[in-house]
Amino acid sequence: MNQKIIFNDDITYDNNQQGWIFSGLLSGERINILIKCTKHNVMSDALKFDLEEIVEEWLDDNEPLPESRIELYYK
């Protein structure tokens, strides 16, 4: 797989936002990511892979704005 983004190892679950918050490097720029996910609030390797894959698929079709946060949903 050819990754467009390098994910940082800073993933945390935010109860207030009901989602996973983490960051990555895209073309040398830091981007922040929120994936809303109310059913899965315990991290596992499989969940982490799924969340990263969702972001990569989104990036295939979209370009994040500078200083913005990508917000996606995971069921």
Task: Name residue 27's amino acid.
Answer: S
Question: Which structure tokens are listed for 34?
Answer: 């929120």
Q: Assess if residue 52 is contained within a domain.
A: yes
- What is the model's pLDDT at position 3? 60
pLDDT tens-place values along the chain, 75 residues long: 446 799 999 999 999 999 999 999 998 889 999 999 988 878 999 999 999 999 999 999 998 887 789 999 998
- What is the model's pLDDT at position 2? 45
Determine the structural domain holding residue 27 and report its residue range: 6-73
Determine the number of helices (DSSP H) and then strands (DSSP E) in the chain.
1, 5
CATH of the domain at 17: 3.30.160.140
CB 5 within 8 A of CB 56: yes
Q: Assess if residue 20 is contained within a domain.
A: yes
Q: Assess if residue 1 is contained within a domain.
A: no
CB 74 within 8 A of CB 50: yes
Compute the distance between CA of residue 24 and CA of residue 33 in angstroms, rounded to an integer.
Answer: 8
